[in-house]
Amino acid sequence: MSVQLRSQINEASGRAPARSATVPVKIAAENVNVYYGPKHALKAINLMIGEKQVTALIGPSGCGKSTFLRCLNRMNDTIGICRVEGLITLDRENIYDKSIDVVQLRARVGMVFQKPNPFPKSIFDNIVYGPRIHGLATTRDELDEIVQISLERAGLWSEVKDRLREPGTGLSGGQQQRLCIARAIAVSPEVILMDEPCSALDPIATAHIEELIDELRENYTIVIVTHNMQQAARVSQRTAFFHLGEMVEIGDTEEIFTNPRDERTQGYITGRYG
Amino acid sequence: MPLSFLFAVLLLLSIVGYQLGRNRAVATVDGKISRLHSVPSYYGFYVALWAGLPAFLITILWLVLQGSIVDALVMNSLPAAMTNVSAQELTLLRADVQNLAAGVGASRTPDPSMLNAAAYYLELRSIARWAMTGLAVVIALLALSAARTRIKPALRARNQVERTVNVFLILCSLVAIMTTIGIVMSLLFEALRFFGRVSLFDFLTGLQWSPQTAMRSDQTGAVGAFGAVPLFLGTMLIAVIAMLVAVPVGLMSAIYMSEYAPLRVRSTVKPLLEILAGIPTVVYGFFAALTMAPFIRDVGLALGLSVSSESALAAGLVMGIMIIPFVSSLADDVINAVPQSLRDGSYGLGATKSETIRQVILPAALPGVVGGVLLGFSRAIGETMIVVMAAGLSANLTINPLQAVTTVTVQIASLIKGDQEFDSPKTLSVFGLGLVLFFVTLCLNLVALRVVQKYREKYD
């Protein structure tokens, strides 16, 4: 594919996203470059993420989709050799601006990781960890309410309501991951980033999480990185395809999977490489 | 012929055996090595082991038995009038004959029969030495050729060599275990002798410690008192002071090293900290006695406190410094073992670094840290050199850190140095103290290791 065509696609997706007419933009990335030391991991990414939508990032391993995800709540700050250039805005505010408090940012942009990582504390303490840190609740009643609402939203309440004092690490893998989602919800974020949230889970637990993602879409903007193309097709409204540090193509999920414009996208979704 | 020469010959035979065995194995299959059961070198080792091991074992056995057999023959050669005495005098007689033979003066003027016996002793020994050498070499040669003729392509040389190596490894590890058991046993039996004279109850609960006992029964005054409580209290006092220094400093520096320090700082400061662990405890000891103790006394004087020149505080502070690298490197290990995913989870929720450390990392690492602290504590209890130099000898029953106290290890060191008779309660009390010390540190170590192990299981 020619360079010209690719830049047209970037332009099309960056300046005038396909469905932006109906959905307001929550996060916008403009000309984002990321370097790990001398390695150029992300090259001139332009991407917009619509509010209260699920956006899936797909692509072969090492293509930079997780790196991009971690830019959105500045988790890459914890990696010493990582350098981010370009503009990323959340509600039109540059999140890499000096005036932005990264603690506040991460309260607004929550994250769920590849491997369930509950803290070695009780289920209750796992949920109230964030609210306590941010001072969202102080009384016992408020905390109880947050725990119940978060667990209900994460579809875990009925399973654990009688054992909130037991350690979160004692739950099954799927339950642990839903606990981590509940933990993220408890801070009332606006965006939830999910980095391959189902890759460590069995098919039934995966189905559970996918249902949950579909429900969460009502209240939250969700960005999900996945290796599983069926999953991207099932849960997302928009899909972006990454390849070798470039964003090749973004569009409505149906469009991407039925009628990809780029032959690399075509090759990936038909399983020729990846 | 010296023994080392014999062993050199056996080694040489083994090397020759290796070559012969290997060559023969290759020759039996006309160079088609794949038809052999094992790789050719195993046939070499097979013959080498046969050439060396049996002869070596026979030599060892001979050396063990030779002494008593030669002694018996020599004593039988002496006239019955001389040997018909008590067992103690018989031992003396045997020593005299051996001294005569070695050309050292004997305890009596030698009579002709003893001179004869000494000559006989020398003769027997040289015969025995030659016989042993000859026997060993003959056995080595026989075993070598027998093993060589047994080499066939189907011989399972590898299995046999591996089994021999296996046995050898088991023997080596047994040496360490048996030595430990032996030490514990000797400690136990001597301690029992002590507790035969001083009751266990008095020892563990008595408040007075003055181990100087009377030499003769008609002497007055010095009657020994073996109440070890002042020693235990002194040991605990110093160990607690040491931990009060080592735990906060060690833990904080471990947190800084693993969470805050940039890679450059970490890679220079960490080895520096570990230099502390390499300083001999004697050096810490005179630092405590010559620098720290006078300093504390001067400060105390300036503040109007009475500080003795050898104080528990000085010994404890320096001991604490000694244990810092121990605590910090163990704590560093467990903090690093807390999975990165937990940190990410906490940062992802908007927690700051210090919140993450206080609420996620430290609770998760706590069992490991506790294990490290317990190990450090058991080191503090067993530490000797610093307290010998800086803590003093007087067994004061006090918890005032400005006074001189003494510890279990100090008493052991001071009671046992120099020439001592090993049947007085004074000297035997060393074993009682040693047993208590051993028991306490053993329990601490067992608990600490269990805690650390439990912790490892949780994250591996």
Task: Say if the Cβ atoms of B346 and A119 lie within 8 Å.
Answer: yes
Q: Which of A110, A115, A134 is the closest to B348 by Cβ?
A: A110
Cα separations in angstroms, A239 against A18, A31, A195, A252: 11, 19, 15, 6
**Per-residue CA distances from B443 to A63, B24, B374, B439 (Å):** 54, 57, 10, 6
* C-beta atoms of B348 and A129 within 8 A: no
The whole-number average pLDDT for the span A34-44 is 90
pLDDT reading at A20 higher than 50: no
Residues of chain A positioned with their CB less than 8 A from the CB of B458: 120
**Distance from the A1 Cα atom to the nearest Cα atom in chain B, whole angstroms:** 38
Which residues from A are below 8 Å from B343, CB to CB? 78
Can you state the angle between helices A140-153 and A173-185, rounded to 10 degrees?
120
CA A21 from centre of chain: 23
Q: What CA–CA distance (Å, rounded) separates B162 from B156?
A: 10
| A80·B262 Cβ contact <8 A | yes
What is the secondary structure of B72-85 as a DSSP string?
A: HHHHHHS-HHHHSS
| Rounded CA separation B460/B448 (Å) | 18
B360 touches chain A (CB under 8 A): yes
Neighbours of A207 (CB within 10 A): 15
Of B263, B360, B458, the CB nearest to A119: B360
In this prediction, residue B266 carries a pLDDT of 86
In chain B, what's the furthest Cα-to-Cα distance? Answer: 100
Domain boundaries, chain B: 3-155, 159-197, 225-459
pLDDT tens-place string over residues A120-144: 889 999 999 999 999 888 899 999 9
Sign of CA dihedral A109, A125, B368, B237: positive
For B66, residues 6+ apart whose C-beta sits below 8 A from its C-beta are: B128, B132
d(CA A94, CA B217): 95
The confidence score (pLDDT) of residue A7 equals 41
pLDDT of A19 reads 47
Asked if the model's pLDDT at residue A92 lies above 70, the reply is yes
> Is B358 touching A (CB cutoff 8 A)?
no
Cα distance between residue A207 and residue B399, in whole Å: 66
Residue A4 confidence (pLDDT) above 70? no
Asked if the Cβ–Cβ distance from A80 to B350 is below 8 Å, we say no
Question: Which of B254, B257, B255, B253 is closest to B265 using CA atoms?
Answer: B257
Residue B188 confidence (pLDDT):
92
CATH of B225-459, one of 3.40.50.360, 3.50.50.60, 1.10.3720.10, 2.40.240.10: 1.10.3720.10
pLDDT in tens, chain B (460 residues): 578 888 999 999 999 999 999 999 988 888 888 888 888 899 999 999 999 999 999 999 998 998 888 888 888 887 777 777 777 888 888 888 888 888 776 666 777 787 888 888 888 888 888 899 999 999 999 999 999 899 888 888 899 999 999 999 999 999 999 999 999 999 999 899 888 888 888 888 888 888 776 555 555 555 578 888 889 999 999 999 999 999 999 999 999 988 888 888 888 888 888 788 888 989 999 899 899 988 998 998 898 888 887 888 999 999 999 999 889 988 888 898 888 899 999 999 989 899 999 999 988 888 888 888 988 999 899 888 888 888 878 888 888 888 888 889 988 888 887 666 767 778 888 889 999 999 999 998 898 888 877 766 665 4
- Inter-chain Cβ pairs, chain A and chain B, closer than 8 A: 66
The DSSP-derived string for B208-266 is -EE----SSTT--S---EE--HHHHHHHHHHHHHHHHHHHHHHHHHHHIIIIIS-HHHH
* Residue-level pLDDT at B201: 87
Scanning every residue of chain B, which has its alpha carbon at the shortest distance from the alpha carbon of A169?
Answer: B458
Mutate to test the interface with B, among A103, A112, A195, A196 (most CBs of B within 10 A): A103
Does A134 contact chain B (CB < 8 Å)?
yes
Contact A119 B355 (CB under 8 A): no
- Give the whole-angstrom CA distance, residue A224 versus residue A217: 12
CB contact under 8 A, B350 and A121: no
Amino acid at site B316: G
A135 touches B at CB < 8 Å: no
> How many angstroms separate the CA atoms of B284 and B238, rounded?
15
**Residue A175's pLDDT is what?**
92
Chain A residues close to B348, C-beta within 8 Å: 73, 75, 106, 110-111, 113, 184
Q: What is the C-alpha separation between A161 and A185, in angstroms, rounded?
A: 17
Q: Are B329 and B257 in contact (CB under 8 A)?
A: no
Tell which of B265, B343, B349 to mutate to test the A interface (max A CBs under 10 Å). B349
Give the model's confidence band at A3: pLDDT under 50 very low, under 70 low, under 90 confident, else very high: very low
| CA atoms within a 13 Å half-sphere pointing along the CA-CB vector of A149 | 13
Contact assessment for residue B242 and residue B319, using Cβ atoms and an 8 Å cutoff: yes
pLDDT above 80 (res A21): no
Q: Does B78 touch chain A (CB under 8 A)?
A: no
Q: How far apart are CA B388 and CA B373, in angstroms?
A: 23
Round to whole Å and give the CA distance between B223 and B211. Answer: 8
**Residue A200 in contact with partner chain B when CB distance is under 8 A:** no
Alpha-carbon gap: B453 to the closest alpha carbon of chain A (Å): 17
Nearest to B344 among A102, A105, A113 (CB): A113
- In this model, does residue A10 exceed pLDDT 50? no
- Per-residue pLDDT at A8: 40
Instruction: Report whether A42 contacts A68 (CB < 8 A).
Output: yes
pTM of the model: 0.72
**Nearest chain A residue (CA) to B264:** A80
Nearest C-alpha in A relative to B364: A120
| Predicted complex ipTM | 0.84
Contacts of A128 in chain B (CB under 8 A): none
Chain A positions in Cβ-Cβ contact with residue B355 (cut-off 8 Å): 133
Closest CA in chain B for residue A182: B349
Which of A71, A78, A82 to mutate to test binding with chain B, by most B CBs within 10 Å of its CB?
A: A78
Does B366 reach chain A within 8 Å, measured CB to CB? no
Tens digits of per-residue pLDDT, A155-214? 899 999 999 999 888 899 889 999 999 999 999 999 999 999 988 888 888 898 899 899
Report yes or no: A183 at the B interface, CB cutoff 8 Å: yes
Cα of B350 to nearest chain A Cα, Å: 4
Confidence of residue A2 (pLDDT cuts 50, 70, 90): very low
Q: Quick one: average pLDDT of A215-223?
A: 92
Distance CA A13, CA A29 (A): 11
* Dihedral angle, C-alpha B358, B360, B363, B367, nearest 10 °: -130
Beta-bridge partners for A87: A30
Copy the structure tokens of residue B367.
């069992």
Confidence at A1, pLDDT banded by 50, 70, 90: very low
What tokens does B35 get? 């038809």
Which residue carries 């279990």 as its tokens? B408
Give the model's confidence band at A14: pLDDT under 50 very low, under 70 low, under 90 confident, else very high.
very low
Q: Which domains does chain A have, with CATH numbers?
A: 3-119+174-269 (3.40.50.300)
Phi-psi region of A62 (alpha: psi -120 to 50; beta: other; left: phi over 0): left
Q: Do the Cβ atoms of A117 and B262 come within 8 Å?
A: no
Q: Answer yes or no: are the C-beta atoms of A176 and A114 closer than 8 Å.
A: no
Interface contact B123, partner A, CB < 8 A: no
